[in-house]
Amino acid sequence: MVCINTSSTKSELSYVLNQSESTFLFITKGFKGNPFMEHLQSLCPELKSAEPGCLSSKELPKLKTVVSLDNTQFPGTFSLGAMLKLGKKINTEELAQIQNQVTSKDPLNIFYTSGTTGKAKGAVLNHFSTVNNAITSGERMEYDPEDRILLCLPLFHVIGFVLSTISGLLYGSAIVIAERFETKKVPELIMEESCTVFNGVPTMFNFLLNNDLSIFDLSSLRKGFIAGSCCSEDLLMKIIEELGIENIANLYGQTEAIGITQMAAEDVLYHRLHSIGKPLPGVEIKVLDFSTGEEVICGEKGELCVKSVYIMDEYYKNMEATNRAIDKDGWLHTGDIVSCDSEGYITIKGRIKELIIRGGENVSTVEIENVLKRHRGIMDAAVIGVPDELLGEEIFAFIIKKPNAEALEKEVILDFAHKNMAKYKVPKYIVFVNSFPVSSSGKVRKSILREQAKKELEKVLI
């Protein structure tokens, strides 16, 4: 199963469907203003004249069957009801034979993750790694049949699909599914459904806490986790004091390894405030010096490397990227800078990878730069992340105009960006410059650009 980001543009949808070699697509008409069916019909004009299940598309050659999850049956598609009726005609012996051939090491999901090389990569997770990571995470969360988990996290990310949904179901918890995260709707759902668990990214908690919650009875909340990006001490204390979630857990993971470290119920407040917990059962870690590749001593900073049974099998059809991420001894190099104390608690210090985490979404700077440079008026683009109190990081783009494009305005670039990339990838800040600072090897010195961005933002705030 391939989980597709619901913010995907037409070109991103085409890329994922082709790269994953998807043959069967479940789709809705649209979501949050993103017209999925229009995108698909534009990519596959052959759909309008195709028999359901017999699509032959030039743009998407592997895709054969499309199922509409809406009540409307679009040309060339099956409705969900029609597909369920077809399912009743399957020979039970044949089905059992196919089911018996599936092993725990067979692929279960492909999750697409942004990276510093631009194009999203499909991390292949098998049945064993997915289910067992959900078990260990759920055990540390102390999920039980009395829990009611409010799910606002997207199912196209491992924190929503594996660490909230599958994990909760394995322990008999009820899953209360919200169509989307809405600041005013979430407190109502918690109160109406007596939710005991709320998992989210820091941005979600920030939005909640910036609203008047006094009219809502949130006393049912007992536990939850924060994932996606680093959580400040101040935010964690507000979650405990104002939302009443005393058993709040910092959770650290990556698409490539699912959950890696997590707080436990017995962890004291100090560790909750200053760390992302200890490795989950079955996870080995080591912290390596950036220059020597040797393990650092306790308390020193280095790159976090992980070895576990939960690590992805590969990046689908991308062995080069797989070999860069996982070394010959099976260690996944996370690209994150951490330190580890004498008790085994891990603290995030920064990131080696040039990746922006905006509101819990991983955003590749290279991907944004490549899209921006497709505009006929842009000669070059350099993108960085800048601190943002609400979203963790925001996207800042430096643009060099082409000589014949002096009249190019920020609004035109933003309009182009909105049409060619998902909303969460669109830069908030755009500054025009004549050149970029570069190293002797010709690489853009983004450390200098970060200082320049800081000065630009200070001007705005004055």
Query: What are the structural domain ranges in the chain?
Result: 2-99, 107-351, 355-461
Question: How long, in residues, is the chain?
Answer: 462
Indicate the class that CATH gives domain 355-461: alpha beta
Reported as a single tens digit per residue, the pLDDT across 208-233 is 988 889 899 999 999 999 987 777 78
Q: Is the dihedral of CA 145, 149, 155, 158 positive or negative?
A: negative
Which structure tokens are listed for 100? 């018996």
Q: Quick one: which of 339, 444, 440 has its CA closest to 384?
A: 444
293: CB partners within 8 A, 6+ apart: none
Looking at the domain that runs over 107-351, which CATH code has it been given? 3.40.50.12780
pLDDT tops 50 at residue 440 = no
Please list, residue by residue across 413-424, b when 16 or more beta carbons sit within 10 angstroms of its beta carbon and e when fewer do: beebbeebbbeb
Question: CA angle, 278 as apex, 277 and 284 as ends, to 5°?
Answer: 145
Strand blocks (E) in 162-219: 174-177, 197-198
Closest CA to 249 of 268, 144, 178, 149: 268
441 pLDDT exceeds 50?
Answer: no
Question: Residues 175-210: pLDDT tens digits?
Answer: 999 998 999 999 999 999 999 999 998 888 988 988
DSSP 51: P
pLDDT of residue 21: 98
Q: Distance (Å, rounded) from C-alpha 368 to C-alpha 424?
A: 11
* Span of 10-14, 138-142, 366-370, 417-421 with lowest mean pLDDT: 366-370
More confident residue, 235 or 130: 130
- Whether pLDDT at 46 is above 60: yes
CB atoms within 10 A of CB 72: 11
Spatial neighbors of 95 by CB under 8 A, at least 6 apart, are none
Query: Read out DSSP for 289-309?
Result: -TTT-PBPPTT--EEEEEEET
Q: Which residues of 248-276 are buried (b: 16+ CB within 10 A; e: fewer)?
A: bbbbbbbbbbbbbbbbbeebeeebbeebb
